Amino acid sequence: MKPRQNLVPPRDEILHTMERIYRYRMTTTSGGNISIRDDHGDTWITPARIDKGNLRRTDIACVHADGSVDGPHRPSSEFPFHRAIYDARSDIRGIVHAHPVALVAFSISRQLPNTHLFHQARHVCGEVGFAKYALPGSEQLGYNIAKAFAQGFHCVILENHGVVVGGDNLQNAFQRFETLEFTAKTIIKAGHLGQVQYLNDAQLAIPRRAVAPLPTFPAGPATSHEKELRRELCEFVRRGYQQRLLISTEGSFSSRLDANSFLITPYQADRFAIEAEDLVLVRAGTGESNKIPSRAARMHQAIYDRHPEIRAIANAYPVNATAFSVTGAALDTRTIPESYIFLRDVQRIPYGLQFQDGEEIARRVSPRQPIALLENDGVLVCGTSVLDAFDRLEVLESTAEALINSRPLGPVAPMGNDVIAELNRAFLGE
Ligand SMILES: [Zn+2]
């Protein structure tokens, strides 16, 4: 968390978080409520029955420890379960409750999304708990939910209702919520493709003991070119977030600055809020001091070293393409000319290689093979510019979505060898 964000008042933090949840369609306008418990024991919470699309900071209610309320509206009707969670768990200071469609699908089929799908989901969300149904707003519902939180869960599916997620601050709770909904969506999408593969404990442990941080160097003043590139890369990271190609806790993006340096997104920063100065300059295997580059930095370095034509690289998590990465299903790009021309043949990279020094992955990708599915870890896309990599990423996701959407319609008829040969001659100079 950036130090300055500690200065955001609870009303604004709740407002911004609710806007984000609503804008990215993780709740309906009437569903969902958010709260913060502060150091004085006051609980700040969204009001009852207010349009989530038009929430103002003054609408947020403050409930004092003695039960008295500040603000023009009554607190959310779900305030009892927020209070029950805070009473059960003093480490929890922020709560998100909503009815996002993928987690509701789990809730109504009485299943829990398995966070062993991704190392990051397991790391961010932990295991998921379950609370039995009770009437919304009732003390019984509060009791059922608090019981699950008391067992140590941060994320709890509510039977025939939705999900509640807690964190040591609201941002942390939001990131868990978004990561869990993404995981649930991926499991559902992947179910259309075949058997979903989960990571075992040994695989989940790999990233934790992986590569040491890069040695650092003191960076001098940025050149105009570097400033431009920082701005451009930042814009595309935010756009990637808005287009749901990255989520707050997953995804890294880099771009080459010159022959032996590149800029990359920082480790563990909210991808939605990245600023130009947060990007980390990496030069000849060393990182700018006082910043921590993405864990993917070594892999990106190896790819840039090996392929001078590659100028931008993204590790991304668009849900449809990621669904292919968690099943054995092949992503056949011979669907429409655009897909084949932009993506060529999409390869699959075994889980674990991304946490090594990157040399093996650098050998496998090239300008001729710019896309890879990383097993249970999203996709890797290379391009000749930031725009080129972004464009390929969007084509990849559209192709994956069309393939998944075609499943109920029947078998796909791929373009034949003669059509591919003609495209190779016309567009790819082969
Ligand atoms: Zn609800």
Does the residue 55 lie in any domain? yes
The token pair that represents 168 in the structure block? 């040591």
Q: Give 76 Cα–ligand 1 centroid separation in angstroms.
A: 10
Tens digit of pLDDT for each residue in 131-155?
999 999 999 999 999 999 999 999 9
Q: Give 306 Cα–ligand 1 centroid separation in angstroms.
A: 51
Is residue 65 within 8 A of residue 37, CB to CB? The reply is no
Does the residue 202 lie in any domain? no
Selection from 387, 384, 386, 380 nearest residue 365 by Cα: 380
Q: Which of 137, 156, 191 is the last residue of a domain?
A: 191
What mean pLDDT is predicted for residues 336-348?
95
Q: Of 372 and 207, which is predicted with more confidence?
A: 372
Do 297 and 388 sit in the same domain of this protein?
yes
Do 272 and 377 sit in the same domain of this protein?
yes
Q: Give 161 Cα–ligand 1 centroid separation in angstroms.
A: 6
Tens digit of pLDDT for each residue in 75-107?
999 999 999 999 999 999 999 999 999 999 999
Do 252 and 375 sit in the same domain of this protein?
yes
Q: Give 67 Cα–ligand 1 centroid separation in angstroms.
A: 22
Q: Give 185 Cα–ligand 1 centroid separation in angstroms.
A: 19
Do 150 and 220 sit in the same domain of this protein?
no
Report pLDDT for 430: 77
- Round to whole Å and give the CA distance between 341 and 344: 6
Q: Give 427 Cα–ligand 1 centroid separation in angstroms.
A: 52
Q: Give 64 Cα–ligand 1 centroid separation in angstroms.
A: 22
Q: Sign of dihedral through CA atoms 388, 391, 395, 400?
A: positive
Q: Above pLDDT 70, what percent of the chain?
A: 98
Buried b (16+ CB within 10 A) or exposed e, 333-371: bbbeeebbebbbebebbebbbbbeebbebbeebeeeebb
Does the residue 310 lie in any domain? yes
CATH of the domain at 416: 3.40.225.10
Does the residue 197 lie in any domain? no
Does the residue 130 lie in any domain? yes
Q: Of 231 and 71, which is predicted with more confidence?
A: 231
pLDDT at 4 > cutoff 70: no
Segment among 45-54, 208-217, 244-253, 355-364 with least mean pLDDT: 208-217
Q: Which residues surround ligand 1, an ion (CB under 5 A)?
A: 162
What domain count does the chain have? Answer: 2
Do 278 and 359 sit in the same domain of this protein?
yes
Does the residue 68 lie in any domain? yes
Do 151 and 32 sit in the same domain of this protein?
yes
What mean pLDDT is predicted for residues 65-72?
92
Tens digit of pLDDT for each residue in 252-283?
999 999 999 999 999 988 888 899 999 999 99
Is residue 164 within 8 A of residue 96, CB to CB? The reply is yes
β-bridge mates for residue 195, sequence order: none
Do 230 and 170 sit in the same domain of this protein?
no
Show the domain range for 136: 10-191
Q: Sign of dihedral through CA atoms 254, 367, 325, 108?
A: positive
- Round to whole Å and give the CA distance between 200 and 187: 16
Q: Give 32 Cα–ligand 1 centroid separation in angstroms.
A: 5
pTM for the full predicted model: 0.95
